[in-house]
Amino acid sequence: MDFSKINGAKFVELSTAIDNFTAQALYEKIGFVRQLPETDFYTYRLEV
């Protein structure tokens, strides 16, 4: 996340399949917030 801040990013986004519960749990544990699903994937966003 430090790299993102240094380079002027406002957020970091990750995507994972709706049925990938392990990744979802990890992303949420480190502060990512799930966005509304647009496809068969969830997008997670973390403001930096």
Residue 5 has pLDDT above 90, yes or no: no
Residue with tokens 């068969």: 40
Domain of residue 9: give its range: 2-47
> Which pTM does this prediction carry?
0.77
- Average pLDDT of the chain to the nearest whole number: 91
Looking at the structure of the chain, the number of domains it has is: 1
